[in-house]
């Protein structure tokens, strides 16, 4: 037995006896050893060094239901292949929000339907946008020159100038270091950001090679919440659905924080304030409590953190309040329509009753004449 074979066997036995996969040297990180580790639980998948990952072990983790939104987001982009993304969505449908935009096509959805995957209605608007974007994309980003986006049509956002020209530096809930990054794309005001965000998934997931633009540290820090922060801005200024159900009592709290675009540095404060088992429904109810600022402060939140969380929550709640009023108005209109329809049918019913009475009278009259020996005319 060779030296390498002996060492593989050595580490294989160690892993079988609960030796952490993260402590296995890279040269012995075989699929078999990783598979043994994953059979112990999800945490071992998270412990596999990124340099030791492979599409094969990722697919194995997906099959074992170890890959949720948070886990998928941290998988290196080069492994987010069509097959990996499809299987991830099949096992965890909400992952469709963070797969590369280029995969979200009618063909992709057809395969999901054939696998009997049910996508939440809260994602349907986003999915339609992605399909439309894929149909419209006819240019490329050059990573070696000044970054530009070629589109066949002018931006569709028709914002008033007072909103379109808002300086991004005045939006204090966006990290200053991110604002600096935006300049790479020539984005300086809110209008330019919202126009570019029609390709936001293009920036965040579609382009392979963020590392050519940003450092690894910058990617880790910013991309985890930037996309959803932009979506909140689109919700606030363009009235687009935020993809968050405020009555959801199933979503995990860290997933909710992710969808809210909350920076990771504020997660511990929120967990102390609400508990790791807090549902979206409980969170939004508590955020409307008059004592919420005091609760957040007691748990270590500074003024900036409190403002950040309050803004994100307010955008979501305001959206549902607006659309709740519309729903009530729609219901009122429907009731009025049904009342008018009922009145119309009653009037028609009266006319039909009159016609029926007339026909009955004629039948009776002719029947009587016939019995008297007359002929029916």
Instruction: Report if residue 143 sits inside a domain.
Output: yes
Q: Evaluate whether residue 56 is within a structural domain.
A: no
> How far apart, in whole angstroms, are the C-alpha atoms of residue 258 and residue 264?
8
pLDDT attached to residue 148 = 30
CB 122 within 8 A of CB 245: yes
Token pair of 20 as six digits: 């952490």
DSSP 29-75: --HHHHHHHHTT-HHHHHHS-GGG--HHHHHHHHHTT---HHHHHTS
Number of structural domains found in the chain: 1
| pLDDT of 183 higher than 80 | no
pLDDT tens string 223-253: 556 777 877 888 888 887 777 888 888 777 8
Note whether residue 216 is domain-resident.
Answer: yes
User: Distances from the Cα of 256 to the Cαs of 232, 251, 277, in angstroms?
Assistant: 13, 7, 11
SS3 label, residue 163: helix
Least confident segment among 34-48, 213-227, 274-288, 297-311: 213-227
Mean pLDDT of the chain: 75
Provide the residue range defining the domain that includes 184. 137-243
Decide if 156 is inside a domain: yes
In a domain, 258, yes or no: no
Q: Which residue would you say has higher pLDDT here, 101 or 318?
A: 318
Q: Is the pLDDT of residue 207 over 50?
A: no
Residues paired with residue 167 on neighbouring β-strands, in sequence order: 189
The answer as to whether 103 is a domain residue is no
Percent of the chain with pLDDT over 70: 73
Mean pLDDT of all residues in 187-205: 63
First CA to last CA distance, the chain: 113
Encode pLDDT of 103-160 as tens digits: 988 888 889 888 888 776 667 777 887 887 777 763 433 333 333 322 233 344 567 7
Q: Is residue 65 part of a domain?
A: no
* Cβ-based neighbours of 251, under 8 Å, separated by 6 or more: 245, 259, 279, 280
- Higher local confidence (pLDDT), 168 or 185: 168
Rounded CA-CA distance 283/275 in Å is 10
Residue 14 lies in a domain: no
pTM: 0.46
């Amino acid at each position: 037995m060779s030296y390498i074979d002996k060492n593989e066997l050595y580490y294989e036995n160690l892993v079988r006896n609960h030796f952490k996969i993260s402590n296995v040297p890279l040269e012995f990180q075989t699929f078999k050893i990783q598979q043994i580790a994953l059979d112990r639980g999800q945490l071992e998948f998270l412990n596999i060094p990124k340099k030791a990952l492979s599409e094969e072990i990722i697919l194995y983790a997906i099959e074992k239901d170890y890959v949720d939104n948070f886990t998928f987001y941290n998988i290196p982009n080069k492994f987010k292949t069509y097959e990996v993304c499809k299987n991830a969505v099949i096992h965890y449908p909400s992952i469709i929000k963070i797969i590369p935009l280029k995969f979200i096509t009618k063909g992709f959805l057809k395969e999901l339907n054939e696998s009997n995957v049910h996508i939440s209605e809260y994602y349907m608007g986003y999915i339609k946008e992605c399909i439309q974007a894929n149909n419209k994309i006819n240019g490329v980003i050059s990573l070696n020159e000044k970054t530009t986006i070629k589109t066949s049509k002018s931006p569709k956002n028709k914002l008033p100038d007072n909103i379109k020209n808002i300086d991004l530096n005045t939006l204090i809930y966006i990290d200053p270091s991110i604002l600096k990054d935006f300049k790479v794309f020539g984005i300086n005001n809110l209008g330019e950001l919202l126009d570019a965000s029609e390709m936001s998934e293009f920036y965040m997931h579609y382009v392979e090679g963020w590392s050519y633009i940003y450092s690894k540290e910058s990617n880790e820090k910013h991309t985890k919440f930037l996309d959803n922060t932009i979506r909140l801005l689109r919700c606030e200024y363009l009235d687009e659905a935020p993809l968050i159900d405020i009555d959801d009592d199933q979503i995990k709290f860290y997933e909710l924080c992710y969808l809210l675009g909350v920076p990771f540095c504020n997660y511990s404060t929120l967990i102390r304030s609400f508990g790791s088992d807090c549902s979206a429904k409980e969170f939004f109810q508590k955020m409307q409590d008059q004592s919420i600022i005091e609760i957040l402060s007691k748990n270590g939140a500074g003024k900036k953190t409190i403002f950040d969380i309050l803004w994100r929550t307010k955008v979501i709640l305001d959206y549902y309040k607006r659309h709740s009023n519309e729903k009530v108005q729609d219901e009122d209109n429907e009731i009025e329509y049904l009342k008018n329809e009922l009145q119309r049918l009653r009037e028609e019913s009266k006319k039909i009753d009159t016609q029926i009475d007339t026909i009955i009278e004629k039948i009776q009259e002719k029947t009587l004449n016939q019995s008297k020996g007359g002929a029916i005319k």
